[in-house]
Amino acid sequence: MAKAYLCSVIDFLDIHTHQAAVKPGVISIESLSLTNDIFLAMPKKKPISIGLHPWFASVDKLELQMKYLTVLARQENVKLIGECGLDSLKGEKIENQILILEQQIALAEELNKPLILHCVRRFTELIALKTRLNVYVPMVIHGFNKNEELGKQLIGNGFLLSFGASVLKENSGAAKLIKDLDCFFLETDDSQITIQEIYNAVAEIKNCTVDEIKALIFANWKKLNLTPNP
């Protein structure tokens, strides 16, 4: 009886974290930026996402790093491509960042894996890129913490959003958006807050139980329906 019950319990899904620790009851997808160091230590079993982060990627090394990424991204435990994306405050000039992102989008489509995106003040360019390339794999924007209007605009353009610690702030765009949203993901990113605290906050906002949020997030993950379960 107890065993059957345990089997039916759904884990917390943390779609984007930089913590390597494996925690009981949590499926976390560790996000790794592809540098040579990480290349050597790339986990083979636990679910991960890998990509060229816009802070560290450079056009100079693009050819070589895409070569590595193309091989590694095929690993079964690589669930998402990224984080990759655009950042107006750090990294290469925007034209180069777009070029680097385009290649990763092409790889994600070739492998039929969703993308996990980092975007800082480049949402107009990101929407334009998605439209221009007519990207068909799911594009999940991680750590969305901007206003409700921008969130709705992104959802209207077919992006999926993942929320982190910002849901804990009562009047944040994330907290407002989540109220009426069913298709979204949750994450810890580099925060010290636990994924349980984030799920608790969302359950409170949506006036339901944590188990219902777990079921919802898990169903959303399955809806991506591209690769086997994490």
Q: How far is the CB of 121 from Zn ion (least distance, A)?
A: 16
Q: How far is the CB of 120 from Zn ion (least distance, A)?
A: 11
Q: Distance between CA 13 and CA 129 in Å, rounded? A: 28
Q: Distance between CA 205 and CA 3 in Å, rounded? A: 32
Nearer to Zn ion, 92 or 189 (CB): 189
Nearer to Zn ion, 130 or 142 (CB): 142
Q: How far is the CB of 17 from Zn ion (least distance, A)?
A: 8
User: Which single residue brings its beta carbon nearest to Zn ion?
Assistant: 189
Nearer to Zn ion, 55 or 218 (CB): 55
Contacts to Zn ion from residues 171-200, by CB under 5 A: 189
Q: How far is the CB of 33 from Zn ion (least distance, A)?
A: 9
Nearer to Zn ion, 33 or 179 (CB): 33
Specify whether the CB–CB gap between 130 and 157 falls below 8 A.
Answer: yes
SS (H, E, C) 109-137: HHHCCCEEEEEECCHHHHHHHHHHHCCCC
Q: How far is the CB of 2 from Zn ion (least distance, A)?
A: 37
Contacts to Zn ion from residues 6-25, by CB under 5 A: none
Size of the site for Zn ion (CB under 5 A): 1
Q: How far is the CB of 78 from Zn ion (least distance, A)?
A: 16
Query: From residue 136 to residue 175, what is the string marking binding to Zn ion with x (rule CB under 5 A)?
Result: ----------------------------------------
Nearer to Zn ion, 15 or 129 (CB): 15
Nearer to Zn ion, 14 or 92 (CB): 14
Q: Which residues bind Zn ion (CB under 5 A)?
A: 189
